[in-house]
Structure formats: C-alpha cells, structure tokens
Amino acid sequence: MTETRAEIRLPTKELRDDLPFYTRTLKMRLDMIYPADNPEVAVLSGHGLRLRIEKGAREAPGTIRILTEDPGAFADGQRVLTAPNGTRVEIDELNPPLVLPRTEHAFVVRRLADQAPWVIGRAGMEYRDLIPNRLGGAMIASHIRVPDGPVPDMVHFHKVGFQLIFCVAGWVDVLYEDQGDVRRIHAGDCFIQPPGIRHRVLHSEGVQVVEIGVPADHVTEIDHEMTLPTPNLRPDREWDGQKFVHNVGATGAFRPFRIPGFEARDTTINQNTKGVASVMVARPTGEPAPWTVHDGDILFSFVMTGGMTLEGEGKDPYRLSPGDAFAIPPGMATRYSDATPDLQLLEVTLPGNPPTRVL
C-alpha cells in the first residue's frame, strides 16, 4: 500500500524562534529540518497533527486547537497562546461537560401548512425545524424524512442529555451498540438513544421520524473504530444512567392520561431514563377536555393523525392537523378541544410525567 501523508503549512520569519515553542511548549516532535546550515523548513508532528513551518510561506498564521483531558497540565495551564510565527494556539477540554441551557419558556405553534423549509442535513436526511426558537437552546425538535433505500451513514454517537427517535411513517433499520442485530421501527414505534450509544442507520422506506434532542446544540462524533453489530448483547446496560429503549407501539396499552378526556400509551421511557423524560401517545376518549396547567419544564407535542383545536390563555385558538407541533410553557392554561376521533398526539415532557392541574 502506498504511504500518504498530509501536512498543514504555516509561515515563519525566523524558524529558530519557533522551534522551542512547538517542541517544548506544545510538546510536538521534530521530524524533519533543512537545510542544515541555515534551516528554513521544519516538519513537526503531535496530537494527531503534522505541521510544516516554512520561512516565507504565503499562508496566514492560522489557529491550532489542542484538546486534552487535562488543560491545566498542558502549556503550564495557559489556555490561549501565540507562537513566535503568529499562530494562535487554543487549549481546550477534550471531553467538555454537557451544558444544559436554562429553558426560555414560550408558547410555540409550528404548522406544516406554514411551509417551513426542509433542509438537507447529515447523511442526506431532510430536516424541518419544529421549535424555531429552541426554547433558548434547551431542546431541538425536528421532523425528519429519510430518502428510501440504503442510508450513507457511519457509526456515530451523540453527546446529549436526552434523545428520542419516534417513527410517524414508514420504517427504518438501525444498528445499536450492545443491542444485538438490526432493529426496525415502524410507525408508532420509538427508540431512545442514551448519551454516547454508538449506532448506525442502515435502510429506510417511506420513513418520517420526529427527533428530540436535549440540549439543542449537541455534538455528533463518528466512531471509526467500532463495527456494528457488537458481539455482546447487553439489554440492561446504562449510558449516563439511561437504558436503550425500543418501544413497539402495537404492544402498548392505553390508560388514563394526565388530561381528562384523553388516554395515553406509555413508551416506558420515563422508567428507563429514571424520570429524565416521558414519551406518551395520547388520544381522545370522547369526553370534553378541561382547561389544564402543567408544572413541568418542557412540554412538546406533535400531531400524528387527526386534528384538534389548541386553546391557550390569552391566545387565538389554533386548529391543528397532522405534522403540526406545539410547546406549552409551565403555568399557562390550555385546552385541547374539538378533537377528531382519530387524533393521536405524541407528547414529550422533561422531566417525565409533569404534575398537571385541572382548572
């Protein structure tokens, strides 16, 4: 196999001024230098990076980011440095703690008829934003369509606090770390993807999903080393206290919901996240629903089938149809009225099962 290397070139005015900084302060290794009598080019490597520092090079000095598990022990604890050649060096956390922004509560309604654009995202998937303000960065809710056939996906994971994939149409095949062979979800089924679980989307037909992520801005990392499926089946494994959930909608039972006049199917996510979130599928019983107030934090709903009118305290009523979504802030009185018999609502709450008061 032919060996190939890549270098990033940086300029310098005087190479001898730069070498101590890159080798001693940044702890990089000198691999090559020439000419010997008056060096003008040096090649250094370290931290997964290969640099060519060249006298008179035309490039700008640029910025190098070095990520380490212990920034305080690197470069004497300095977090921002400037090399003699002008290159800026930033020292940062390799695995920074997950920051959950404080929720900026708002009453939000997003209707499919408003024709919000579908945006091409990762692996060719189409995304429609369901909560444009993202409640101040506290969550992201996306309506996703995946082109039919094989999906050009790689083994990856997400640095999140909570992530849900709920299938509203079609089907999709996915592989998950330590969860056996291919898993297929159909309309009405869902996955909870615990923080850090490796997975890969394989194939889909006519699929549409609603994906919830907390916080809104979170990192997706590719795992180039892991091959799925993994050899071990570990259904009880936990990632940051959460278990993987594959809930099959057809096996669920409907019971009284937090709102009178509705019943709901529990997806077991509240139990398997230890109360981080709950995911319910709610439908009307035929009795009128009263005005209610919830005392949770995030309450998001997506209309899967049927229709209803959403009434909010001090707001004009909204007639909702399939593909519409809404978020209700705590303390705000709302009522679900004029529901059609075929109405099905996907409701996601964080924390799970919020107290609800009937007015």
- The per-residue pLDDT string of the chain (359 residues; one tens digit each, 9 = 90 and over) reads 789 999 999 999 999 999 999 999 999 999 999 998 889 999 999 999 999 999 999 999 999 999 999 999 999 999 999 999 999 999 999 988 888 899 999 999 999 988 778 888 777 788 999 999 999 999 999 999 988 999 889 999 999 999 999 999 999 999 999 999 999 999 999 999 999 999 999 999 999 999 999 999 988 999 999 999 999 999 999 999 999 999 999 999 999 999 999 999 999 999 999 999 999 999 999 999 999 999 999 999 999 999 999 999 999 999 999 999 999 999 999 999 999 999 999 999 999 999 999 99
* Torsion angle, alpha carbons of 105, 274, 158, 108, to 10: -20
Task: State the CATH architecture for 117-248.
Answer: Sandwich (2.60)
Q: Name beta bridge partners: 67.
A: 92
Return the pLDDT at 75. 93
Return the pLDDT at 185. 95
Return the pLDDT at 1. 78
CATH code 2.60.120.10 region(s) in the chain: 117-248, 251-358
Compute the distance between CA of residue 66 and CA of residue 79 in angstroms, rounded to an integer.
10
Matching CATH number, 8-90, of 3.40.50.970, 3.40.50.170, 3.10.180.10, 2.40.50.420: 3.10.180.10
Matching CATH number, 251-358, of 2.40.10.170, 2.60.120.10, 3.40.50.1820, 1.20.90.10: 2.60.120.10
Residue 5 CB contacts under 8 Å (≥ 6 apart), including other chains? 50
Residue 24 CB contacts under 8 Å (≥ 6 apart), including other chains? none
Each residue of 208-221: b (16+ CB within 10 Å) or e?
A: bbbbbbbbbebeee
Nearest to 147 by CA among 130, 122, 184: 122
| Residue 99 dihedral angles phi and psi, to the nearest 5° | -105, 120
Residue 28 CB contacts under 8 Å (≥ 6 apart), including other chains? 22, 44, 45, 46, 47, 49, 51
CATH code 3.10.180.10 region(s) in the chain: 8-90
Return the pLDDT at 314. 93
